[in-house]
Structure 1
């Protein structure tokens, strides 16, 4: 009898351990300050509410997309939180499940409801210009107001832009095309402007956010293309820098989320995505990492609201890229950029 009870106890313990293991979900997202925010403030209340364990897997968007592609059919990651460009690729490759239209998802701005309802935006970032105010004052320059300022010869060797493999470089190319009679479907004017007018002003095509921040802070970079949140982080450290929404419009980069198709714990994944876009989580993200809230009901202090994309007026003014065209041409444009622009 004792042997039977021992076997039954072992079986119960095994079942209990399996149940606990089954309640663990893996979430892929950015590292750095975003990872810190999730681990310290966003994940703990979700774990307390659901009893689940959330393991945060840090990485850049392209690395996380590559993991989803490699693990197709045997996914380990339940929720992916990546930039909108790679997210459109993930959706197009069947790597994302339909987002449940319940709870906080119903409170999102229309701009955060991504095509096909397989993913949603989890934060708005405005791509525009930033400048070092001390450098501009030293040279007697007026504050920049337009994307076309990047072509002004007076900024020769004073401009820093990330490369095309970074979202900011790609969106600069897109805006140069749009402002010169082209667009995503006709990138020729963009390449022409980048090669002849912008590239001569560029000191370096800098991929590292840390190096970019340092160059902007010291004034080595007087004028840059970057996201409002990253610029605000530099300003918060006391640097004389300011973000500018160009008069033609700032371009939206959304960080987006999806529940991975075929992922373990899909139900928990849906619950976690709802938690991420809730007004409470959105307020935390705005304050900690400068993401503009995608949830219309989010409440922010005036100080935080001033620093992020907040409210329908700012959200509606953002320019949205056509990623269907961009993703189809991305490899071709990258090769051309590497040959002709970034030399």
Structure 2
């Protein structure tokens, strides 16, 4: 990302019969939004960004990447931030707030309509409630006679050998998998050891590859190279709507809650537009677009049909059934877990 210069885009000079007159052409600012790639990037580019650009006379440049990559950019650009709005998962967002990368969110009427659970801090808010769960290709499962998983521990079932691909523990989705497998085998965030043991003894032999990104997992599912993975349910919903025969597992230990969050970044040179973009993302119209892509809305005024609610965590009761991650404990240990993962599992 190159250094930005937000000077007026053009100043026109018009020569009129009565003399030389300067004609001003309205300036257009550029705002940088960093967020996920894959199907989420398509949603942002096609349904979210255009209406914001039109209403606010601003050009939005979208920078795609995993949450950890966006957090790394914020760290690298600490003295001169290039990103104006950061979109990351809830775990990295707690770190971004802790490290001082996020500016306070200004009060606005739309924030009064947001569920309290979505307000992570004064500087960060969720715009969607996602779910991380095992997802499988129903067509391949039927053809091969594979059993449908009922527990996170079932990822180690030898029947899935050569059918499984996952993200590594450096990603939020991969970390969710490690934590939930640990819970399913007698551990959890305070005791991750059972999770590592389950991966080494049973799950690792089933894995075809550790994908570098969620979009790559989507490619493997679409090509039929794998039949089972762990992804955000929103991705599965989006791909199913495109015709892929995907089904989501409801593990007995619960699916992991994944809050997709955003914050206006400190030292932005378009702070007003950044605040407006946060409000735009929380508006009922945009919340409905996210809901259609598989994210539970955080704005209680979002109107959804029964079909649109299918598969989503909508309302306090549904959210209460999700497995909530202990992010303070996770963030204290995450670096060590990632190093151990790279050394023992993904080597």
Is the TM value for this pair above 0.5? yes
2:335 to 322, 327, 331: 331
- Residues 24, 52 of structure 1: 8 Å contact kept: no
- Residues 29, 56 of structure 1: 8 Å contact kept: no
Q: Are 1:255 and 2:255 an aligned pair? A: no
1:271 aligns with 276
CA distance in 1, matches of 2:199, 2:306: 38
Write out per-residue CA displacement over residues 242-276 of structure 1, whole angstroms, 9 at most, x where no aligned residue: 11221211112222110112222323322220111
Q: Are 1:296 and 2:300 an aligned pair? A: yes
CA distance in 2, matches of 1:154, 1:291: 31
1:5 aligns with none
2:199 aligns with 194
Q: Are 1:103 and 2:109 an aligned pair? A: yes
Write out per-residue CA displacement over residues 76-101 of structure 1, whole angstroms, 9 at most, x where no aligned residue: 32211222222222111101012234
Structure-to-structure mapping, 1:1-343, within 5 angstroms = 13=24, 20=27, 23-49=29-55, 51-60=56-65, 61-114=67-120, 116-287=121-292, 289-343=293-347
Structure 1 residues 74 and 191: CA distance shift in structure 2, 3 A:
same
Deviates more, 1:251-260 or 1:207-216: 207-216
TM-score by length of 2: 0.85
- Residues 134, 219 of structure 1: 8 Å contact kept: no
Aligned length, in residue pairs? 328
Write out per-residue CA displacement over residues 191-212 of structure 1, whole angstroms, 9 at most, x where no aligned residue: 1121112212222222343442
Considering fraction of residues, name the structure with more strand.
2
TM-score by length of 1: 0.86
Task: Give the match's secondary structure for 2:310.
Answer: helix
Q: CA RMSD in A?
A: 2.6
Considering fraction of residues, name the structure with more helix.
1
Q: For residue 32 of structure 1, report the CA deviation from its aligned partner.
A: 4.1
CA distance in 1, matches of 2:53, 2:144: 53
Write out per-residue CA displacement over residues 173-208 of structure 1, whole angstroms, 9 at most, x where no aligned residue: 111222233222221121112111221222222234
Q: For residue 167 of structure 1, report the CA deviation from its aligned partner.
A: 1.9
Specify every segment of 5 or more residues in structure 2 that has no aligned partner in the other structure, as ranges: 1-19
Q: For residue 219 of structure 1, report the CA deviation from its aligned partner.
A: 4.2
2:6 aligns with none
Specify every segment of 5 or more residues in structure 1 that has no aligned partner in the other structure, as ranges: 1-7
Q: For residue 218 of structure 1, report the CA deviation from its aligned partner.
A: 4.7
CA distance in 2, matches of 1:33, 1:217: 13
Structure 1 residues 94 and 342: CA distance shift in structure 2, 3 A:
same
CA distance in 2, matches of 1:136, 1:36: 29
